[in-house]
Amino acid sequence: MSDLERIIRLKTVLARTGLSRSTMYRKIAEGTFPCQLKISVHGAGWRESAVNRWIANPIAYREEPQEKSCP
């Protein structure tokens, strides 16, 4: 697995983006932040490559169809 395909957890995503937890989940609901991936029964993470794309251009970010994993 390449570094860009790593799965990162909530604490790392919040630290890298500077968003609050509530703002991040609101943006996920709006489709303006990458969806989380279910990685276990009680665990979730985000594709590092998707988070990096959001960081590079948060204003223009939209989920790509193949990445759309939010219910």
Alpha-carbon 20 to chain mean position: 13
Q: pTM for the complete prediction?
A: 0.81
The tally of domains found in the chain comes to 1
pLDDT tens, position by position, 5-55: 899 999 999 999 999 999 999 999 999 999 999 999 999 999 999 999 999
* 64 lies in some domain: no
Strands 7-8 and 44-47: antiparallel
Instruction: Give residue 5's pLDDT.
Output: 86
* 61 lies in some domain: no
* 49 lies in some domain: yes
* 7 lies in some domain: yes
Instruction: Provide Rg for the chain, Cα atoms.
Output: 11
Distance CA 59, CA 69 (A): 21
Would you say residue 3 has pLDDT above 60?
Answer: no
- pLDDT: which is higher, 70 or 15: 15
Other C-beta atoms lying within 10 Å of the C-beta of residue 49: 14
* 18 lies in some domain: yes
* 10 lies in some domain: yes
* 68 lies in some domain: no
Q: Which two tokens stand for residue 6?
A: 């790593």
Instruction: Give residue 69's pLDDT.
Output: 55
* 41 lies in some domain: yes
